[in-house]
Amino acid sequence: MTVADSDFPIDNGASCLPIPAEEEKRIVTELIKKSELNLKEGNLYYVISNRWFSRWQMYVGHSPGMLSTDQQSSDGRHADTVRPGPIDNSDIISNGSNCDGNDLDIYRTLLEDTDYVLVPQEVWERLLEWYKGGPELPRKLISQGVGQKQYSIEVYPLCLKVTDARDNSVSIVKLSKKATMSELYELVCKVKGVEQNKACIWDYFNLSKHSLLTASDHQTLEDANMTMDHDILLELSVDTDRSSHSGVHPIGNELALVPLEPPRSSVSIAGGPTLSNGHSTGSGFNLYQGSSVSSSLTTMDDNYDIYRGERGGLAGLQNLGNTCFMNSALQCLVHTPPLVEFFLQDYTDEINRDNPLGMSGELALAFGDLLRKLWSSGRTAIAPRAFKGKLARFAPQFSGYNQHDSQELLAFLLDGLHEDLNRVKQKPYIEMKDSDSRPDEEVAYECWKNHMARNDSLIVDECQGQYKSTLVCPECGKISITFDPFMYLSLPLPSTVTRTMTVTVFYCDGSGLPMPYTVNVLKHGCCRDLCQALGTACCLKSDEMLLLAEVYEHKIYRYLENPLESLTSIKDEEHIVAYRLKNGAKKTKLEVVHRCPDNMKGGDRKIFGTPLVTYLVEDPQYGSNIETYVHRMLAPLRKAHSSTRSHEGKENGFISGGSDEQSSISNSESEPRNLTHGSREQEGTSCGESSFQLALTNDGCFSCEPIEKASVIKPSTHIKVFLDWTEREYELYDASYLRDLPEVHKTGFSVKKTRQEAISLFSCLEAFLTEEPLGPDDMWYCPQCKEHRQATKKLDLWKLPEILVFHLKRFSYSRYLKNKLDTFVNFPIHNLDLTKYVKNKEGQPYVYNLYAISNHYGGLGGGHYTAYAKLIDDNKWYHFDDSHVSPVSEAEIKSSAAYVLFYQRVGSNSQMEGETS
């Protein structure tokens, strides 16, 4: 099918004979599935405004095979029967675009699935046929990375600023970053109306000539480190023979570049080989081969000594467009003393080009090249373009110019540098053995020895430690112990480990008023943990138990009777109650649902309040028995006993003052009432007869059968009854205790509490080492049960490295919520003593000093990264904010923005040196 013309006016009507919505959904779903099976570079996708697309989805109905969109991004909900108008992309197209070319620009701040969606070409053609409208915004599918390629849609092609040297006018051209340099020459010459053989295009980064760009069919804009809004310079050569300027012979052979600027020094400050005019022959590191690397690095070592008098290490990194996350991480790494010492020497013998898990040594060479520039350029800011190009090649997730996580980049760099510097050329196959109750020292040594047999590098020597992991099966009690290496420690903030939950406890034997209790439990804990915390809070007796239930719209939605059910299934806005019952064998469950006439003036009966639950022990059951239990549960609500203390000690649904309210209950209510049929009148109304009417109902509360005193109830494990209230009961009982049910979590209360507290680094470490159950998505396969179990996990530190990195987990992500914690974490700068946390008893102290911090300011998506780093030689701290570097006092480096902390162990004796050698 031919793509319809893009010049359709927005107000064009839809097709005269629209097909049914179900048929539209079926066709689109099939086309989407078909396109997912035929991914290849060059496929076209189209950008559609999510405002229009979400309306269409609501019209046809969402299905699992369709695209997922954020419905909240639409400007209103429409009835399912409303057919949307023509496709309208006007809200995502940027105004005043001066790009030369046929493609329209869209706003750069847009988010996929929130502001726009991407549909395959076939889907766009169908939607355009059905609805008309537009304009069309085609985008190509490109491949990124090396080895196992990743496909992505290039929503934002590169915009390059072309400065014409003839009149200094500036034009903008748009190309894919996968376009070749020949395509760039062709487009620029077409826009400027010049002959290609007379054109010379320069890399004009920061408005200064860097290198002449060669019209090549093999080098892409991405290879040449072209970035968004990159400046290039167009010059026209006087000589009509373009080969003398472009480096390309008329018949296509590549020649050496002819100097077009005054000759420069032949020494490359970056440690890479150069030509006589000072320009490198390419953007990559493919020139680092054989002895050229060694000679270059040797020259660099001599050159480095020249700059030592200018206090190296104070150069900033230019922001290439939302690359502050990268600059922050790099400044921390290039100020790590062992890495500085290593990369300022000749490290060519350490490069492992044949490691299939590495990057042919190119990442290590790019990092070393950048480190040398930073330590030899004095205070001149460096543009890390070459490094950014390598990063995009080997880690496509960091390509483009969006903000990313500095800790994720650090993790990739440490692992990538390790593999590029791995001294092990052939990794042996090693089968891991179970601990089998062997001594920890023996198992730990064996695990570390096996690890070193496959992993041996500078990163392992300096940055890797070992921790002990203990898993316990909750069913059979199987214990599995492993010793695993780590590169950094991701420490949760205590507020991210525990969860504050408010649950109302009902005393089903009539011994007390319903009481809300606020407890702290593990966020990924289970119902058993919640019951234990509630039992401690309400002083549960040894012969009692708690039955948890989720209440929704005054009905019990479900009982939480599985002790291993994860608490993550309970949302903060829900109402959870606990019924305090006598422990023992399984009995008949009685559930009482409250009803009253609407507005107490007759009419349909309306459900209100919280249901009451207890266990019946009599068998068989009569209506009189059920009345007895109902009056027993309602006894604490009698106004004669509770009017003087109604809601005392409660504020916004939370207890203020512990269990004082509970202890204030009169002695007559402190023991369960043993009500019988003969004494029921004494506990009924003041007239001697209860006006409550009970009716038997089913699970869905649809049926209603009145219960008389002599009625025989059919035996069942679950009996549900209606309790009809009248105005008389409202006068005798305080029903507010049934109505005012607090939610599981109240945001205002917890935020007010956490803002008054500061968290220490030690409390974060202890939270990391706390035993907790695995999440439901991280089940452990028990070798004894032969099934996946939600085991409990306990981590212990076994040995610590020379360079210890702490990652503070300030960001939390879930399907429904993204959050950042700005909690202040108090961390030591000097003498961080972790000796007591290390389980390996070898008598060595583990004391550390801080030397670098990666900071994150602001919220999600729009934040900013900076770094603090200490120059060990002069014992001073500096603030690295992209290209700006300034001194800072030690007292200023502590803030709530601290995100990743870098520590160096005091002393030179490494715990693992002997085992490594």
- Helical (H) or strand (E) element with 234: strand 230-236
What is the Cα Rg of the chain in Å? 36
Active-site residue, from 324, 447, 463, 508: 324
Is 864 designated active site?
A: yes
> What whole-number distance in Å separates Cα of residue 386 and Cα of residue 326?
13
Helix, strand, coil % in the chain, rounded to nearest 5 = 30, 25, 45
CA atoms within 13 A on the CB side of 466: 26
Residue 791, token pair as written in the block: 């085991």
Q: Which of 376, 363, 361 is nearest to 310 (CA)?
A: 376
Longest CA–CA separation in the chain, Å = 119
Residue 917, token pair as written in the block: 């050698």
> What whole-number distance in Å separates Cα of residue 804 and Cα of residue 723?
64
> What whole-number distance in Å separates Cα of residue 546 and Cα of residue 914?
55
Active-site residue, from 78, 451, 641, 864: 864
> What whole-number distance in Å separates Cα of residue 219 and Cα of residue 763?
52
CB-CB neighbours of 184 under 10 Å: 25
Sheet holding 230-236, edge to edge: 99-100, 170-175, 158-164, 230-236, 199-203, 211-213
CA angle 307/311/314 to nearest 5° reads 110
**Helix/strand/coil for 51:** helix
CB-CB neighbours of 723 under 10 Å: 22
Identity at 567, one-letter amino acid code: L
DSSP state of 256: P
Do the strands 718-724 and 780-782 form a parallel or antiparallel pair, or are they unpaired?
unpaired
Cis peptide before 620 (omega within 30 of 0): yes
Identity at 570, one-letter amino acid code: I
> What whole-number distance in Å separates Cα of residue 7 and Cα of residue 134?
8
> What whole-number distance in Å separates Cα of residue 459 and Cα of residue 410?
12
Identity at 643, one-letter amino acid code: S
Q: Which of 717, 716, 733, 713 is nearest to 725 (CA)?
A: 733
> What whole-number distance in Å separates Cα of residue 354 and Cα of residue 351?
9
CA distances to 25, 101, 144, 323, 394 from 391, rounded to whole Å, are: 40, 30, 11, 12, 5
CA angle 98/99/103 to nearest 5° reads 125
Residue 295, token pair as written in the block: 């000679």
Q: Which of 775, 771, 814 is nearest to 794 (CA)?
A: 771
Identity at 655, one-letter amino acid code: I
**Helix/strand/coil for 914:** helix
Identity at 646, one-letter amino acid code: S
Beta-bridge partners for 864: 857
Please name the residue ranges forming H helices in 524-590. 527-537
- Helical (H) or strand (E) element with 632: helix 623-634
Q: Which of 873, 867, 871 is nearest to 893 (CA)?
A: 867
Q: Which of 403, 321, 381, 387 is nearest to 883 (CA)?
A: 381
> What whole-number distance in Å separates Cα of residue 395 and Cα of residue 401?
13
**Helix/strand/coil for 71:** helix
- Helical (H) or strand (E) element with 695: strand 693-697
Catalytic center residues:
324, 864
